[in-house]
Structure formats: structure tokens, C-alpha cells
Amino acid sequence: MRKTILADCVGLAMLTSCVSTVLVPGAESVRYMKKATAAELAQCEVIGPVQEGFNRDSQFCREECQMELRNRTFALGGDTVLFTGRGSGMAYKCGTTAGKVTK
């Protein structure tokens, strides 16, 4: 009986220790860009910097990080986020509704 309870507690702890980020309604329309040219952003209004909440020390932004940046951009009224490194990005209002990852 004790082993079963202990196993259940360990399993529950493992499940709750994982952070799961989901897109808020509307954030799926925010375009995530890994790189951009001046021409691509020429017609865009700069909204400001965004930071994902986990403060990861990485130059890469995986799926959870991308979703967090898209959520934060959407919350600021933006429709495009340019990844700038280490869990950070710049939010823009470009008038796009692509909702794509651009390389």
C-alpha cells in the first residue's frame, strides 16, 4: 500500500513539475520570425520588447518559448514577434495574420 501511494506521489510530482505553455485565444495569429530583413519590417510599428517567462539561458527558442513570446506579443496588441535571442523578442504591429514561423 505504501509503495503504491509513494509511486502515485512521485508520478504526480513529475507531472506537475513540467511547465506547459498554450497559446491564448487569438495568439495563434501572431507571426513568429526567427530572422527578418529591414524590408520585411518596414511597414511595421514597433510595440516593444517581450520576454518569455522562464528566462532560459539559451540562444534558441523552442516551441514553448515561441508560444510564450506569441502570447505576450498578442497581449500587447502585436501581430508579429521577431526572436532576438535568449528568450527575448521584439513585438510589432504589421497588419499580418499569418500565424506562421518564418525562418
* pTM greater than 0.75 (yes/no): no
Res 87: pLDDT: 86
Res 10: pLDDT: 43
- Per-residue confidence band for 95, with pLDDT thresholds at 50, 70 and 90: confident
CB contact at 8 A, 88 and 51: yes
Residue ranges of domains in the chain, CATH in brackets: 22-102 (3.30.110)
CB contact at 8 A, 34 and 101: yes
C-alpha cell at 69: 513570446
User: Between 74 and 59, whose confidence is greater?
Assistant: 74
Asked whether residue 1 carries a pLDDT value surpassing 70, the answer given is no
Nearest-CA neighbor of 84 among 65, 71, 99, 97?
Answer: 65
Nearest-CA neighbor of 21 among 64, 52, 60?
Answer: 64
Distances in Å between the Cα of 18 and the Cα atoms of 52, 57, 82 are 16, 18, 26
pLDDT tens-place string over residues 17-67: 455 788 999 999 999 999 999 999 999 999 999 998 775 666 567 888 899
Res 61: pLDDT: 73
